[in-house]
Structure formats: C-alpha cells, structure tokens
Structure 1
C-alpha cells in the first residue's frame, strides 16, 4: 500500500517530521480491517461484518529503504460470506483512527465460515 496514508496520518507524519506541534502517536496495537468497498484519503471503506470477523493485530519489522510489511500471518477465521477488495489499518484507541488504506492486488471471495489469510510479508507498507 504505497502512498495510501489517510489525510489524518499524512498530517501526523508531516507534523512529526517538521517538528510542528506535538502530534500524538497512534494507539497500538494497530489493527487490520478487511473491506468490501474501498475508501479514500478521507472516507473509510465498507468493513466486513458478521461471522466471527474481527480486526487483527498488525506486527511489522523496522522499515528498510522506506518500506516494511507484516511480520506475521494475518488470519481471520469464521468469515462471513463476502468479497474482500482491500484492507485498512486503524489504531486501537477508544474511538479508533483510520491511518492507512488500500486495495488488495486481487479480490478475495470467501464463503461463510471460511478463513482468510494474508501471509507474512503480503501486506507491504511504504511512503513512496
């Protein structure tokens, strides 16, 4: 997901790099949400719902050459019957803040009760 920071995350990043104010670091752990319709910089996508679906914790390694990826498999079990077209990354604050969004390279259709897995390294994150 290159260059898919939300407007909120872009502002936090710029303020931190430029030393403007004191931006608050997102509440961790960061969570990965599956969406059935993609959002954009300012509007969240349509999150999957039903079955045993819940957002999954994101683990990443330190960035190298401006990029990183998930360091552990992301696994959703007991999925509802949906077609997943993208993912979003949220913090885990009491009122979660959406930080990143992007489409999957290929949509994934799952039947009710199925598992959806994004293997370690499959979710790439970069700023370029």
Structure 2
C-alpha cells in the first residue's frame, strides 16, 4: 500500500484521536446542563463572532475565588485540544459525536443554521 493512500485512510493523528475519545467519554458522563454548556462552547467555536457563548458570559460575571470543578477543567482541556485540531480533525470529532448522540448533533446543526445572516 503506498504511503499516500494510507495517510488518507487515517484522517487524524493518534494523539488527536485519543483526545477526541477522552472528550466523548466525558460527554457521556455529563448531565443535561453540562451538555448545554458544551453546546454553547461548540457553537462559539463553529460560528465565532455570531454566538455569544454561555461560557464567555459566565467567565466575565464570575469572581474566581474558588478552584474550578472537574467539568470546568474538562472544558478547558477540550478548548485547548480543539484549537490545535485541523479542520478535518474537527469534522471527524463531530462525526464521532454524532455516532454517540445524533440528537445532540442535529440540535447543534440546527443552532448553527439559525445563526445564518446574523452579525
């Protein structure tokens, strides 16, 4: 098998794949409120400038006088990882997420479509 065709069959790096599996594992354990916060963060990444994310709003209102909880740490890691992924890797993550929760991803796409034409 030529190297070029092998690379096309492996769209993402091993490290990225492990990061994505980790986020999906967290996602399965999140409650409805946490998933909604994740949705807002994902929307902010998908259509930057069109969505004021809940996390952005919360971070400007909260006084950080306590340590972050595990969920907040997970979202920080998720953001760091997502920012390092190429577009193809980001699309791969959405595909994996859709396999785990098609209703969540359908709602995400509906929300993205709802931002069309907004500045």
| Fold similarity call, TM over 0.5 | no
Q: Which one has a bigger Cα radius of gyration?
A: 2
The structure with more strand, counted as a fraction of residues: 1
TM-score range, shorter chain: under 0.3
The structure with more helix, counted as a fraction of residues: 2
User: What is the TM-score normalised by the length of structure 2?
Assistant: 0.27
User: What is the TM-score normalised by the length of structure 1?
Assistant: 0.26
